[in-house]
Amino acid sequence: MNSLKTMYKELGVSEEVFDFCEKIAEDLTDRFAKIDETAEYNQLKVIQAMQKNKLSEAHFSPTTGYGYDDIGRDALEATYADIFHTEAALVRPAIQCGTHALAIALFGNLRPGDELLSPVGRPYDTLESVIGINPTPGSLAEYGVTYREVNLKEDYSFDYEGIKAAINEKTKLVTIQRSKGYATRPTFSVEQIGELISFIKGVKKDVIVMVDNCYGEFTERIEPTDVGADMAVGSLIKNPGGGLAPVGGYIAGTEKCIENASCRMTCPGLGREVGPTLGLNQAFFQGLFLSPTVTAGAIKGAIFAANIYEKLGFNVIPNSVEPRYDIIQAVSLNSPEALCAFCEGIQAAAPVDSFVKPEPSDMPGYTDQVIMAAGAFVQGSSIELSADGPLRPPYAVYFQGGLTWDHAKFGIMMSLQKMVEKGLVKLS
Ligand SMILES: *Cc1c(COP(=O)(O)O)cnc(C)c1O
């Protein structure tokens, strides 16, 4: 009666899909135990930082106006600095998203005549405008900051010779993106990033290294700032907000880099001293507290999907057995019908807007139509279960998130259910 199978059936998952998925989930037990261990370690790291900063109810009180003497904001930033093992941090609702945080870190620390280097190929799409790779009003290029990039080698390893040749007297800041984002290269481990940083600092000691840490937080026991990065930067509506932060971004780094960034975040002279938190501190702290387990649930969902779709013959990146350093999963579904069915399933399993059917549509900045599924409590939140993909071969869906493993599992089962119903895959 109240068996899992019956409950899933009531929600639209057939017995055939349930049995197929349940078998795969069972085989992942040992792997999931390792992920839980990482979450446990990071949970303790977060609690340790909160205790060290004597977090108390007083820190949750809202400030308004200038936000002078906001003790909650100061404690939050000190807590982030302790987790990332940095001298300082900025964690603010006034940082609108990950791109904004990255832009603040870059503009705050670069000056006219300086050069920015990406030694890992083209950065995330939205940074092209910030850097001025696409001519854009207000870009770094307009302020006389030049840009250079060195692509990864064909086997996705670092092109050390090329990187050495690209570093020159103007090179001031190096940006390294941890997650693959929407590229096809693998995501770098923190250890790999550490090797790259050592090499770069060996060539030029005083260069600033910034890591775009989006989607990577708490997937490992260490963060890029533990291996020499001067700044780690990310979004609070991804991993570290734990699904509870309704907005925000963070930069954790050296005192000097954070001071420079803060003068760009507000303005020279005001820096970190202003910034009302408007009652959001509790959500930021509580989301951070939940983040290690939320991130673990999202990684489990990604691995579960990789195993299901690889077994059915689809190309999955990362594959079913590779180690994970972020929460993103790509599946090449090979047809527009399968891509749409997948997204319909994710949407149908959502707690919010489950009754909506996602449709492909034109998007500004994209040449092909894009389909997106998201039924989130926070708009655009990608730590919540979401999926999207452009309607072009190989019809790859990129998906990530799930505030709980159980929801991620249900969403993926529904994606398969829709594909089975439409005759796009056969389970036996
Ligand atoms: C999400 C993301 C960003 C920033 O995106 P926002 O939508 O502005 O938060 C930057 N880099 C990577 C790798 C990302 O995944």
Atom of ligand 1 nearest to the CA of 97: 9
Tell me how far apart the alpha carbons of residues 46 and 242 are, in angstroms, rounded to a whole number.
12
CA–CA distance, 268 with 262 (Å, rounded to integer): 8
* CATH number for 274: 3.40.640.10
Q: How far is C-alpha 406 from the geometric centre of its chain's CA atoms?
A: 20
Final residue in a domain of this structure, among 257, 280, 303: 280
Query: 31 in helix, strand or coil?
Result: helix
Calculate how far, in angstroms, residue 52's C-alpha sits from the geometric centre of ligand 1: 30
Q: Which of 212, 219, 235, 236 to mutate to test the pocket of ligand 1 (most atoms within 8 A of CB)?
A: 235
For residues 83 and 215, membership in a common domain is answered with: yes
Residue 48 lies in a domain: no
Nearest to 314 by CA among 386, 376, 405, 389: 389
From atom 12 of ligand 1, which residue's Cα is the shortest distance away?
A: 214
Task: Calculate how far, in angstroms, residue 266's C-alpha sits from the geometric centre of ligand 1.
Answer: 21
- Give 384 Cα–ligand 1 centroid separation in angstroms: 14
In a domain, 52, yes or no: no
Indicate if 276 and 385 belong to the same structural domain. no
What is the pLDDT at residue 366?
73
- What is the C-alpha to C-alpha distance for residues 279 and 281, in angstroms, rounded to an integer? 6
Q: By alpha-carbon position, which residue is closest to atom 14 of ligand 1? A: 214
Using DSSP, state whether 422 is helix, strand or coil: coil
Counting atoms of ligand 1 from 1, which one is nearest the CA of 99? 8
Q: Are residues 310 and 406 in the same domain?
A: yes
How much is the pLDDT for 1? Answer: 60
Do 122 and 267 share a structural domain? yes
Q: Are residues 104 and 239 in the same domain?
A: yes
311 in the same domain as 187 = no
49 within a domain of the structure (yes/no) = no
pLDDT the model gives residue 364:
74
E strands, 181-281, in order: 208-212, 231-235, 249-253
Residue 428, domain member (yes or no) = no
How many domains does the chain contain in total?
A: 2
CATH code of the domain covering residue 352? 3.90.1150.60
Rounded to the nearest whole angstrom, what is the distance from the C-alpha of residue 391 to the centroid of ligand 1? Answer: 21
Question: Is 308 part of any domain?
Answer: yes
Q: Which domain holds residue 271?
A: 61-280
- Domain co-membership, 303 together with 382: yes
Mutational pocket test of ligand 1: of 96, 97, 104, 126, the residue with most ligand atoms within 8 Å of the beta carbon? 126
> How close is the Cα of 22 to the center of ligand 1, in Å?
33
Residue 351 lies in a domain: yes
> What is the SS3 assignment for 90?
strand
Pocket perturbation via mutation, ligand 1, pick of 96, 99, 176 by most ligand atoms within 8 A of CB: 99
Most informative mutation of 106, 212, 231 for ligand 1 (most atoms within 8 A of CB): 212
Q: Within this chain, do residues 148 and 176 fall inside the same structural domain, yes or no?
A: yes
What pLDDT tens digit does each residue of the chain (428 aa) get?
A: 679 999 999 999 999 999 999 999 999 999 999 999 999 999 999 999 999 999 999 999 999 999 999 999 999 999 999 999 999 999 999 999 999 999 999 999 999 999 999 999 999 989 999 999 989 999 999 999 999 999 999 999 999 999 999 999 999 999 999 998 877 789 999 999 999 999 999 999 999 999 999 999 999 999 999 999 999 999 999 999 999 999 999 999 999 999 999 999 999 999 999 999 999 999 999 999 999 999 999 999 999 999 999 999 999 999 999 999 999 999 999 999 999 999 999 999 999 999 999 999 988 767 789 999 999 999 999 999 999 999 999 999 999 999 999 999 999 999 999 999 999 999 98
Q: For residue 11, which amino acid is it? A: L
Q: Whose CA is nearest to atom 9 of ligand 1?
A: 98
Per-residue confidence (pLDDT) for residue 398, from 0 to 100: 94
Q: Six-digit token pair at 241?
A: 């907000």
Q: How many CA atoms lie within 13 A of 78 on its CB side?
A: 15
- 119 vs 5: CA distance, rounded Å: 49
Query: What pLDDT is attached to residue 115?
Result: 98
Residue 54 lies in a domain: no
36 vs 32, 219, 268, 330, CA distance in Å?
A: 6, 10, 44, 23
Cα–Cα distance for residue pair 393/8, rounded to 1 Å: 32
Backbone phi and psi for residue 130, each to the nearest 5 degrees, phi listed first: -60, -45
pLDDT of residue 184: 77
28, 77: one domain:
no
273 in the same domain as 348: no
Q: Which residues pair with 148 in a beta bridge?
A: 117
Domain boundary at 234, 254, 280, which?
280
First to last CA, the chain: 27
| Domain end marker among 280, 304, 326 | 280
Q: Ligand 1 pocket: which residues have CB below 6 Å? A: 97-99, 124, 126, 177, 179, 181, 212, 214-215, 235
Ligand 1, atom nearest to 178 Cα: 13
Task: Tell me whether residue 206 is in a domain.
Answer: yes
Question: What pLDDT, on a 0 to 100 scale, did the predictor assign at position 42?
Answer: 98
**DSSP character for 208?**
E
Are 248 and 349 contained in the same domain?
no
- Closest atom of ligand 1 to 100 CA is 8
Judge if 328 and 265 occupy the same domain.
no
